């Protein structure tokens, strides 16, 4: 695993809140504070190896924070450049984006909103604040949950492809299909049926472990239920299923139903990263906003929420305006997966996800890039060349135009 270091420049009185915010965002990061802007830039330029995060904010004199962050971004010595402010206006966010700043961090706003426990809540899920992100010291794998609030955006294909890519990087992957009634994650791997969770009689770890299906090298799959009407029978065992998968894998990926059932809500509360998937259509954007608000009300820290645009145009610049006022998306990291064409849907429909993952195209490379960014944030990016290369994959492709001079006809 590559070490993550966050080099910060802020007044001493702010270092406590900044350090807490950094560790919420980057659980494995070590914080090193510089006393001046010049010292911060010199330190970053001298770094060699590991993942470097640069953060600046709350300066009381000298160069402005946004100018310092812009200079660091131009230096190209940091994997991410973060600007810390109390409150970011739309104008500031636009300036930061143009300056190449990766994200804006508002330490005072990253805490989850408390939920009022009233009888108006219909879901029978314990509404609680999310526990601190796991750092792996307990021996359990990180949990990444993909959800959308709307069907047809491609999260099942993303989950299957990400699992295969992670396995190719040497990770043992646990796959959970939490669409207990109508899930079809198993079909991506050419299976006729999944691991029937309705057959569980008790939350016994040994029984859960023996129920898994091997769907590839170092990939174990659980779910869904054999019949839709049995979903309620399996729902109470969702927490035990997640615990079992995290105890026996290096990474756990969960695909979810488009409706937020009790099992899905519980997974969101326990997730190390929640990835909200959308495809740019208006209905999908509305579902993204609703689901982001729900995640916050469930107690998910905003810094654990990511938004992923699927079927993105690789040559178009990303449009972040949709997150301008959506609850829960203020600091959500944007990810993009490029359109793969009809071949992706065809291979997935034929159960050939493994063949697709081995094929180098815009879709698979961008899925690998998103996965690498998630693992890097969690401090568990595998130490292999393929993972490091994926973490450097650009989010926008450059167009190349070829001009030639026509020959004169004599």
Going along the chain from its start, the domains and CATH numbers come out as 4-109 (3.40.50.2300), 143-391 (3.40.50.300)
- Better-predicted residue by pLDDT, 374 or 313: 374
Cα–Cα distance measured from residue 53 to residue 78, given in angstroms and rounded to the nearest whole number: 6
Average pLDDT on 9-37 reads 89
- Tell me the pLDDT tens digit for each residue of 145-172: 999 988 889 999 999 999 999 999 999 9
Q: What percent of the chain has pLDDT over 70?
A: 84
- Better-predicted residue by pLDDT, 408 or 369: 369
- Better-predicted residue by pLDDT, 114 or 9: 9
Smallest CA-to-CA distance from 252 within 243, 265, 239 is with 243
Q: What percent of the chain has pLDDT over 90?
A: 49
Q: Which three-class secondary structure state does DSSP give residue 83? A: strand
Q: Which three-class secondary structure state does DSSP give residue 400? A: coil
Cα–Cα distance measured from residue 205 to residue 243, given in angstroms and rounded to the nearest whole number: 8
Question: Cα 204 to the chain's mean position, in Å?
Answer: 30
- Tell me the pLDDT tens digit for each residue of 241-287: 999 999 999 999 999 999 899 999 999 999 999 999 998 777 777 88
Mean pLDDT of the chain: 83
Cα–Cα distance measured from residue 316 to residue 328, given in angstroms and rounded to the nearest whole number: 25
Cα–Cα distance measured from residue 102 to residue 116, given in angstroms and rounded to the nearest whole number: 34
- Better-predicted residue by pLDDT, 221 or 321: 221
Q: How far apart are the first and last CA of the chain?
A: 65
Task: Please report the pLDDT score of residue 79 as a whole number.
Answer: 82
Cα–Cα distance measured from residue 12 to residue 65, given in angstroms and rounded to the nearest whole number: 15
* 300 DSSP assignment: -
Task: Please report the pLDDT score of residue 55 as a whole number.
Answer: 94
pLDDT bucket at 364, cuts 50 / 70 / 90: very high
pLDDT at 116 exceeding the cut of 70: no
CB atoms within 10 A of CB 233: 16
CA distances from 144 to 18, 175, 276 (A): 25, 10, 11
- Better-predicted residue by pLDDT, 255 or 332: 255
Task: Please report the pLDDT score of residue 329 as a whole number.
Answer: 67
Task: Please report the pLDDT score of residue 185 as a whole number.
Answer: 96
Cα–Cα distance measured from residue 357 to residue 365, given in angstroms and rounded to the nearest whole number: 9
Average pLDDT on 62-69 reads 86
pLDDT at 238 exceeding the cut of 80: yes
């Amino acid at each position: 695993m590559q070490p993550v270091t966050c080099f910060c420049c802020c007044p001493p009185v702010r270092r406590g809140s900044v350090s807490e915010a950094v560790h919420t965002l980057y659980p494995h990061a070590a914080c090193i504070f510089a006393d001046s802007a010049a010292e911060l830039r010199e330190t970053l330029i001298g770094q060699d190896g590991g993942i470097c995060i640069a953060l600046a904010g709350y300066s009381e004199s000298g160069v402005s924070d946004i100018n310092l962050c812009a200079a660091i971004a131009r230096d190209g010595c940091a994997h991410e450049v973060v600007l810390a402010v109390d409150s970011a206006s739309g104008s500031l966010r636009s300036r930061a984006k143009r300056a190449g700043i990766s994200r804006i961090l508002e330490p005072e706003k990253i805490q989850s909103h408390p939920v009022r426990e009233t009888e108006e809540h219909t879901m029978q899920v314990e509404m609680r604040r999310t526990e601190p992100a796991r750092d792996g010291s307990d021996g359990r794998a990180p949990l990444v949950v993909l959800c959308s609030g709307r069907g047809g955006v491609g999260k099942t294909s993303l989950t299957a492809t990400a699992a295969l890519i992670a396995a190719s990087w040497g990770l043992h992957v646990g796959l959970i299909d939490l669409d207990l009634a109508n899930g079809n994650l198993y079909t991506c791997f050419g299976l006729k049926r999944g691991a029937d969770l309705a057959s569980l009689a008790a939350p016994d770890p040994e029984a859960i472990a023996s129920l898994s299906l091997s769907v590839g090298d170092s990939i174990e799959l659980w779910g869904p239920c054999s019949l839709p009407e049995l979903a309620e029978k399996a729902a109470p065992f969702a927490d035990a299923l997640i615990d079992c998968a995290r105890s026996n894998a290096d990474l756990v990926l969960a695909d979810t139903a488009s409706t937020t059932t009790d099992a899905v809500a519980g997974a969101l509360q326990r997730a190390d990263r929640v990835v909200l998937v959308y495809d740019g259509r208006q209905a999908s954007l509305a579902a993204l906003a609703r689901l982001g608000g729900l995640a916050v009300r469930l107690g998910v820290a905003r810094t654990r929420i990511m938004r992923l645009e699927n079927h993105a145009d690789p040559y178009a610049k990303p449009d972040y305006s949709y997150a301008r006022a959506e609850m829960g998306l203020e600091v959500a990291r944007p990810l993009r997966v490029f359109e793969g064409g009809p071949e992706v849907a065809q291979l997935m429909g034929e159960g050939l996800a493994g063949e697709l993952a081995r094929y180098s195209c815009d879709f698979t490379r961008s899925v690998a890039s998103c996965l690498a960014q998630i693992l890097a944030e969690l401090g568990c990016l595998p130490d292999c060349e393929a993972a490091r290369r994926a973490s450097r994959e650009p989010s926008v492709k450059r167009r190349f135009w070829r001009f030639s001079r026509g020959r004169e006809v004599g």
